[in-house]
Amino acid sequence: MTARASTVASRISATGTANALELRGLTRMFGALAALTDINLTVRPGERRAVLGSNGAGKTTLFNCITGDFPPTAGTIRLFGEDVTHFPPHERIRRGLRRTYQISLLFAGLSVRDNVYLACRGVSRYRFSLLRPRRDDALMASAEGLIEAVHLSDARETLVGDLSYGQQRQLEVALALAGAPRFVLFDEPAAGLSPTERRELVEILTNLPSHMGFIIIEHDMDVALRVAESVTMMHNGRIFKEGKPAEIESDAEVQALYLGGGHG
Ligand SMILES: Nc1ncnc2c1ncn2[C@@H]1O[C@H](COP(=O)(O)OP(=O)(O)O)[C@@H](O)[C@H]1O
Ligand SMILES: [Mg+2]
């Protein structure tokens, strides 16, 4: 086998049967503060997992380490079988990883369609092309598909600044889905939403393609339990419980810590 063939073969076997995500001994210090301590977490391809925990538990830091925005102080990160611990963020994006942010990063002066189109273009091989985008190209078609998937078809020409808050969060989901990712990290997408908007978001997330796994950070236990098939509870930078939604919901320790006022 040539070197190239063996590399391709190992890549295929790495992506075929491997876990979507494997964290081993992940630790992140900020000076003397341990934001994450010895996190071990495995997520299967297509699995939908919720991460719950009070403010400051380390949830966003966990995402920042997985995406490469912050390097971990110790530990390893494997993505679809490949060790990406020292890869820059764009190399992880290339391997199918996406995220949303807790704070909105939308272009307020652009329409919904232009935002989604630019996101599709940004992750495509045409991203450095100076050719003027044509409205009928394949990227535009995928943008339209994403707009529909997040229930914004009626608002496709609306400027982002004129969207409701709930619609803006739906748009953020669309941006994270650009370029057909394999694994997505959603950082509190339901924060600040009304009950109706929450129901809509739950429907959008539930209807994502089944091969697309994700982790959702969520404060609202009801949202988390409806979209996720497994739950990881974090506290003070550590994982203290994992299980099925029903097990977590009825767990006495979880209730005492999380439902008993510990979360803010
Ligand atoms: N960039 C940073 N610099 C210093 N400390 C940080 C930074 N980001 C997070 N922290 C600290 O790490 C801990 C975990 O924060 P974070 O991951 O944002 O928690 P969560 O998302 O669960 O609310 C907190 O104590 C927070 O103050
Ligand atoms: Mg956070």
Question: Could you tell which of 26, 28, 29, 30 is best to mutate to test the pocket of ligand 1, judged by most ligand atoms within 8 Å of the CB?
Answer: 30
* pLDDT tens readout for residues 64-108: 999 999 999 999 999 999 999 999 999 999 999 999 987 777 888
Spacing, Cα 50 to ligand 2 middle (Å): 13
Residue 178's pLDDT band, with cuts at 50, 70 and 90, is very high
Distances, alpha carbon 245 to alpha carbons 32, 48, 222, 228, 249, in Å: 34, 11, 10, 7, 6
- What is the pLDDT at residue 263? 46
Q: Where are the domains of the chain?
A: 97-180
The ligand placed nearest to the CA atom of residue 237 is 1
CATH class in words for 97-180: alpha beta
CA-to-CA dists, residue 169 to 174, 187, 233, angstroms:
9, 11, 24
Residues with Cβ within 6 A of ligand 1? 30, 33, 35, 53, 55-61
CA–CA distance, 39 with 201 (Å, rounded to integer): 29
Pocket test for ligand 1, best of 61, 64, 99 (most atoms within 8 A of CB): 61
Mean of the per-residue pLDDT values of the chain: 88
Over residues 226-250, the pLDDT tens digits come to 999 999 999 999 999 999 998 988 8
Q: Check the CA dihedral 226-228-230-233 and report its sign.
A: negative
Name the pLDDT band for 1 (thresholds 50, 70, 90). very low
